[in-house]
């Protein structure tokens, strides 16, 4: 596979702490790393946001989220917006240019000690990220996220084949130019909600294997909090076990996303959900967590909103004891995820080719995803215990679910699923109660040493 002509040149000095190593160092000390979603179009405001995160009363890493123009490669429009002082919904790293971004980072890491302790990840949402990867490397950064499936199907009409090729080149560019460059799979967050955990685990793990095949040695696997604490415990345990099995020779960790669907409208409900995700992270030994803020249901969060969420999550995780993972024999998420992973890996030694075959055959099929390369035969539902289950597994290579009534999902059912978490936490907040978390922990738990 051919890399850009600039790929072999010497990368500028990394200006921040190596991302994977920074997370690993915190985890070794038993500290959950928390991270905001944050992207601001102009340098003074973006710099101020990064400094606020760096100064938060939490073990935090920084985020530079890119704007929509940059995500789709429309850099001329991004440059025009900068010239005209127009609002941007993120930081246009290509339009700003490497010198501008490096100057911002140099200001951030002065005095020098911060360059050894504060790490930053670039987040973008692009199915064709080669130019973005080039720009972040030129600016002295070393970490980003996405993947050939997870940044193609949910966000674009780009053919999966093109995304697979672009992500292969991007992985090789990262590996070629920065030792220890870090890439996170977004595969555990497909559409953000209503995807049964086994498919999230499988796609995240498979993208991690794809990254490894293309030369990366520092990898993280994502999982988005869903509708059931117990089911999420099973999912993260499954993800960690499979990562240990398939990602040997790499430095890997798991990142949990606080619930990505409709967020509670009450402040206490939103904080309750945020705190529960932090407890989930600590309980499962998850190393890093992406937060959401109580402002999510109403407006774009401010820097202060993000810092508050970082500190709330960090506080909620403090003192929570990591639990022994459930036995694999009692973990239904693991059984399904393993079946999905093994079926895809059997299709082709080249995981990029295996992805194409898997989606063509419906072995991977994301519920409610309208992308042309998605078979669109699977459907999910939330059962009486609040767990996401398969209503129709399509052609997924897993056992057919037990019949529980109608195999069709009505509009009212779908809307109810979308608001399930929001209503659960808002109701608890309005009634003055707290959603019980401890009761949902598996009964077979015991403290780890």
State the distance between the two ends of the chain, measured CA to CA, in whole angstroms.
46
Q: What is the dihedral of CA 197, 310, 133, 68, to 10 degrees?
A: 80
What is the b/e burial string over 237-260, where b = at least 16 CB atoms within 10 angstroms of the residue's CB?
bbbbbbbeebbeebbbbbbbbbbb
pLDDT at res. 325? 87
pLDDT at res. 2? 37
List strands edge to edge, sheet with 251-257: 33-35, 288-290, 251-257, 218-224, 182-185, 143-146, 120-123, 62-65
Q: How long, in residues, is the chain?
A: 449
pTM of the shown model: 0.93
Instruction: Select from 230, 228, 290, 229 the least CA-distant residue to 254.
Output: 290
Instruction: Select from 203, 343, 227 the least CA-distant residue to 280.
Output: 227
pLDDT at res. 117? 76
CATH topology for 13-317?
Answer: TIM Barrel (3.20.20)
Where are the chain's structural domains?
13-317, 335-424
Q: How many CB atoms lie within 10 A of CB 411?
A: 7
Beta partners for residue 224, in sequence order: 257
Cis peptide before 231 (omega within 30 of 0): no
Render each residue's pLDDT in the chain as its tens digit; 449 residues. Answer: 334 434 444 556 788 899 999 999 999 999 999 999 999 999 999 999 999 999 999 999 999 999 999 999 999 999 999 999 999 999 999 999 999 999 999 999 876 555 567 999 999 999 999 999 999 999 999 999 999 999 999 989 999 999 999 999 999 999 999 999 999 999 999 988 899 999 999 999 999 999 999 999 999 999 999 999 999 999 999 999 999 999 999 999 999 999 999 999 999 999 999 999 999 999 999 999 999 999 988 888 999 999 999 999 999 999 999 999 889 999 999 999 999 999 999 999 999 999 999 999 999 999 999 999 999 999 999 999 999 999 999 999 999 887 766 667 888 888 999 999 999 999 999 988 655 443 343 332 223 32
3-state secondary structure the chain: CCCCHHHHCCCCCCCCCCHHHHHHHHHHCCCCEEECCCCCCCHHHHHHHHHHHHCCCCCECEEEECCHHHHCCCHHHHHHHHHHCCCCCCCCHHHHCHHHHHHHHHHHHCCHHHHHCCCEEEECCCCCCHHHHHHHHHCCCCEEEECCCCCCCCCCCCCHHHHHHHHHHHHHHHHHHCCCCEEEECHHHCCCCCCCHHHHHHHHHHHHHHHHHCCCCEEEEEEECCCCHHHHHHHHHHHHHHHHHHCCCCEEEEEEECCCCCCCCCHHHHHHHHHHHHHHHHHHCCCEEECCCCCCCCCCCCHHHHHHHHHHHHHHHCCCCCECCCCHHHCHHHHHHHHHHHHHHCCCCCHHHHHHHHHHHCCCCCCCCCCCCCCCCCEEEECCCCCEEEEECCCCCCCCCCCCCCCCCCHHHHHHHHCHHHHHHHHHHHCCCCCCCHHHCCCCCCECC
Q: Which burial class, exposed, middle or buried, applies to 321 when counting CB atoms under 10 A from its CB (0-12, 13-18, 19+)?
A: exposed
Chain centroid offset of residue 300 CA? 19
């Amino acid at each position: 596979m051919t890399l850009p002509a600039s790929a072999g040149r010497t990368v500028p000095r990394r200006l921040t702490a190596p991302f994977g190593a920074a997370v690993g160092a915190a985890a070794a000390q038993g500290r959950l790393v928390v991270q905001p979603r944050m992207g601001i179009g102009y340098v003074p405001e973006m710099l101020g946001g990064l400094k606020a995160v760096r100064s938060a009363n939490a073990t935090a890493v920084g985020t530079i989220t890119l704007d929509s123009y940059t995500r789709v490669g429309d850099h001329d429009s991004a440059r025009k917006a900068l010239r005209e002082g127009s609002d941007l919904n993120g930081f246009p790293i290509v339009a700003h240019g490497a010198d501008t971004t490096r100057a911002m980072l140099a200001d951030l890491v002065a005095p020098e000690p911060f360059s050894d302790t504060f790490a930053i990840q670039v987040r973008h949402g692009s199915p064709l990220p080669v130019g973005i990867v080039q720009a972040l490397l030129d600016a002295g950064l070393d970490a980003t996220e996405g993947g050939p499936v997870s940044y193609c199907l949910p966000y674009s009409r780009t053919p999966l084949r093109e995304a697979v090729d672009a992500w292969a080149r991007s992985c090789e560019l990262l590996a070629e130019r920065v030792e220890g460059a870090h890439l996170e799979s977004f595969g555990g967050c497909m559409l953000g909600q209503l995807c049964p955990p086994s498919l999230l685990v499988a796609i995240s793990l498979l993208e991690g294997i794809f990254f490894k095949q293309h030369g990366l040695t520092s990898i993280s696997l994502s999982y988005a909090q869903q509708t059931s604490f117990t089911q999420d415990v099973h999912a993260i345990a499954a993800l960690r076990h499979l990562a240990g099995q398939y990602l040997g020779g790499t430095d890997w960790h798991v990142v949990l996303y606080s619930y990505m669907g409709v967020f509670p409208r009450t402040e206490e409900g939103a904080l309750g959900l945020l705190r529960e995700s932090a407890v989930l992270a600590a309980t499962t030994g998850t190393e890093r967590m992406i937060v959401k803020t109580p402002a999510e249901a109403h407006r774009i969060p401010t820097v202060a909103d993000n810092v508050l969420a970082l500190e709330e999550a960090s506080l909620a995780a403090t003192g929570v004891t990591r639990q022994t993972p459930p036995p694999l024999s009692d973990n239904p998420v693991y059984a399904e995820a393993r079946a999905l992973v093994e079926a895809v890996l059997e299709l082709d030694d080249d995981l990029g080719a295996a992805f194409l075959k898997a989606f063509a055959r419906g072995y991977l099929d994301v519920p409610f995803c309208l992308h042309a390369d998605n078979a669109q035969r699977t459907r999910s539902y939330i059962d009486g215990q609040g767990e996401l289950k398969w209503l129709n597994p399509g052609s997924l290579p897993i056992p057919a679910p037990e019949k529980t009534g109608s195999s069709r999902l009505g509009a009212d059912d779908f809307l109810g699923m979308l608001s399930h978490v929001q209503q659960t936490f808002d109701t608890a907040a309005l009634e003055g109660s707290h959603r019980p978390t401890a009761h949902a922990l598996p009964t077979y738990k015991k403290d780890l040493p």
